[in-house]
């Protein structure tokens, strides 16, 4: 028959439980005691469950009493288990795990600053209707040079000090590490019909000594737009808009004539030097970052040369286009005031953690 709680058997149970608790000294014994009295099928839990069978007029009082006793026993149990734990620890040869010790902090990974800038640059052009493509870093001589109006023995090949790859394969000339992302202009035009609007981020390699603004391996983002009726005004408008989005309204921008065999006319675009301009901290006459010119070049650009269009299979009488190639590390340097491009790939965590 069920044990229906009343004041007598509650007090009896309490006294008995307390007495037994005092006799138990080890953690294991105490745990058995807890199961017996306070566990899911324990004596006190049983009394609480049977509360519904007590006469209605005393149910409230008995319920309160049961809860008080339960709380008292819980508290006594906590004290006993703490005391037992301490003495168990003292006597035990086993090292206990201190669960109150703080854990080791988790190091959050983050994107490399170059990756962050490449994504920002691509986002800016994506929102202007460009899409994103990628191409091979190990490239045929044909795409790196010939398809870009730079035949063998053309002196312009010297503009890009090249790392050649030894190989017996000669499908499209020799193999090299691409010196710029411009080969993707030819590859894209070979595979797509106009209109084309695309940006191509990727790594490039040059056989040159590093200094504060030059690395021998760095990234570029190529841009290409081909359609009917595109003019130099489209090129300027697009690049001005890009510069505003990346650097804000107040940065100064400069276009100057430049020579690249695959564009005509060609320009380079520079931004005023962050270190010695009005907002910078270095005297212009001492600035080694812009080499005392006040400007840092961030990209080459121009109208796609008709010969390049023709070689890729586009009719130069029908289509015109513009192209550009920018250096994301140089953009990151300007944006964040980094004074040496060599920090990017020296893998110094103190530098990388700042982004």
Tell me which residues are annotated as active site: 160, 180, 206, 220, 263, 323
- Rounded to an integer, what distance in angstroms lies between the CA atom of residue 270 and that of residue 247? 12
Return phi, psi of residue 135, to 5°.
Answer: -145, 180
Are β-strands 295-304 and 263-272 bridged in parallel, bridged antiparallel, or unpaired? antiparallel
Q: Classify residue 316 as exposed, middle or buried by CB count within 10 Å of its CB (0-12, 13-18, 19+).
A: middle
Smallest gap, in angstroms, from Cβ of residue 118 to ligand FA5? 13
Smallest gap, in angstroms, from Cβ of residue 104 to ligand FA5? 38
Pick between residue 162 and residue 182 the one whose CB is nearest to ligand FA5.
Answer: 182
Instruction: Extract the tokens encoding 292.
Output: 């005392």
Q: Taking CB under 6 A as the rule, does residue 301 contact ligand FA5?
A: yes
Smallest gap, in angstroms, from Cβ of residue 227 to ligand FA5? 16
Instruction: Extract the tokens encoding 77.
Output: 């149990």
Within 10 angstroms of residue 254's Cβ, the number of other Cβ atoms is 13
Total of residues contacting ligand FA5 (CB under 6 A): 25
Which of the stretches 12-20, 123-131, 207-215, 276-284 binds ligand FA5 when contact is defined by CB under 6 A?
207-215
Q: Taking CB under 6 A as the rule, does residue 327 contact ligand FA5?
A: yes
| Span 248-267, contacts to ligand FA5 by CB under 6 A | 260, 263, 266
Q: Which letter does DSSP use for residue 106 in this model? A: P
Smallest gap, in angstroms, from Cβ of residue 123 to ligand FA5? 19
- Rounded to an integer, what distance in angstroms lies between the CA atom of residue 276 and that of residue 283? 6
Which element (helix H / strand E) includes 132? strand 131-132
Contacting ligand FA5 (CB under 6 A), which of 145, 309, 341, 343? Answer: 341
Smallest gap, in angstroms, from Cβ of residue 213 to ligand FA5? 7
Q: Taking CB under 6 A as the rule, does residue 135 contact ligand FA5?
A: no
- Rounded to an integer, what distance in angstroms lies between the CA atom of residue 48 and that of residue 4? 9
HSE, CB side, 13 Å, CA atoms: give it for residue 236. Answer: 10
Q: Taking CB under 6 A as the rule, does residue 302 contact ligand FA5?
A: yes
The residue sitting closest to ligand FA5, measured at its beta carbon, is 327
Pick between residue 74 and residue 208 the one whose CB is nearest to ligand FA5.
Answer: 208
Pick between residue 10 and residue 232 the one whose CB is nearest to ligand FA5.
Answer: 232
Contacting ligand FA5 (CB under 6 A), which of 220, 277, 311, 320? Answer: 220
Q: Taking CB under 6 A as the rule, does residue 141 contact ligand FA5?
A: no
Pick between residue 330 and residue 335 the one whose CB is nearest to ligand FA5.
Answer: 330
Chain Cα centroid distance, residue 239 = 26
Q: Taking CB under 6 A as the rule, does residue 324 contact ligand FA5?
A: yes
Smallest gap, in angstroms, from Cβ of residue 241 to ligand FA5? 18
- Rounded to an integer, what distance in angstroms lies between the CA atom of residue 346 and that of residue 343? 5
- Rounded to an integer, what distance in angstroms lies between the CA atom of residue 322 and that of residue 303? 4
* 332 and 338 Cβ atoms separated by less than 8 Å: yes
Contacting ligand FA5 (CB under 6 A), which of 178, 197, 206, 335? Answer: 206
Residues paired with residue 325 on neighbouring β-strands, in sequence order:
222, 300
Q: Taking CB under 6 A as the rule, does residue 182 contact ligand FA5?
A: yes
Collect all residues with Cβ–Cβ distance below 8 Å to 272 and sequence separation of at least 6.
Answer: 251, 252, 254, 294, 295, 296
Contacting ligand FA5 (CB under 6 A), which of 145, 272, 329, 344? Answer: 329
SS3 state at 162: coil
| Binding positions for ligand FA5, rule: CB under 6 A | 180, 182, 206, 208, 214-215, 218, 220, 260, 263, 266, 297-302, 323-327, 329-330, 341
């Amino acid at each position: 028959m069920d044990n229906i709680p009343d004041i007598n058997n509650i007090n009896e149970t309490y006294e008995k439980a307390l007495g037994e608790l005092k006799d138990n000294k080890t953690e294991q014994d105490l745990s058995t005691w807890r199961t017996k009295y306070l566990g899911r099928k324990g004596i006190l839990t049983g009394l609480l469950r049977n509360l519904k069978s007590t006469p209605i007029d005393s149910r409230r009082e008995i319920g309160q009493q049961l809860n008080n006793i339960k709380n008292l026993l819980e508290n006594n149990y906590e004290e006993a288990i703490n005391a037992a734990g301490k003495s168990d620890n003292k006597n035990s040869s086993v090292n206990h795990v201190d669960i109150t010790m703080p854990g080791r902090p988790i190091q959050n990974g983050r994107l490399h600053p170059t990756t962050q800038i490449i994504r920002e640059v691509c986002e800016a052009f994506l929102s202007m209707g460009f899409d994103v493509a990628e191409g091979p870093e190990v490239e045929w001589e044909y795409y790196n040079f010939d398809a870009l109006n730079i035949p063998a023995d053309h002196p312009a090949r010297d503009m890009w000090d090249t790392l050649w790859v030894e190989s017996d394969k000669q499908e499209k000339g020799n193999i090299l590490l691409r010196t710029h992302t411009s080969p993707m202009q030819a590859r894209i035009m070979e595979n797509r019909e106009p209109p084309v609007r695309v940006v191509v981020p990727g790594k490039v390699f040059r056989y040159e000594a590093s200094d504060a603004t030059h690395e021998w391996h760095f990234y570029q983002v190529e841009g290409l737009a081909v359609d009917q009726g595109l003019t130099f005004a489209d090129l300027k408008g697009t690049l001005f808009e890009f510069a505003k989005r990346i650097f804000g309204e107040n940065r100064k921008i400069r276009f100057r004539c430049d020579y690249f065999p695959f564009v005509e006319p060609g320009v380079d675009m520079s931004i005023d030097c962050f270190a010695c301009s009005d907002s910078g901290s270095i005297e212009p006459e001492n600035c080694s970052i812009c080499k005392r010119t006040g400007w840092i070049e961030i990209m080459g650009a121009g109208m796609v040369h008709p010969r390049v269009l023709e070689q890729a299979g586009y009719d130069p009488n029908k289509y015109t286009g513009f192209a550009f190639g920018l250096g994301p590390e140089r953009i990151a340097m300007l944006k964040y005031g980094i004074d040496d491009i060599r920090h990017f790939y020296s893998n110094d965590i103190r530098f990388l953690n700042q982004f």
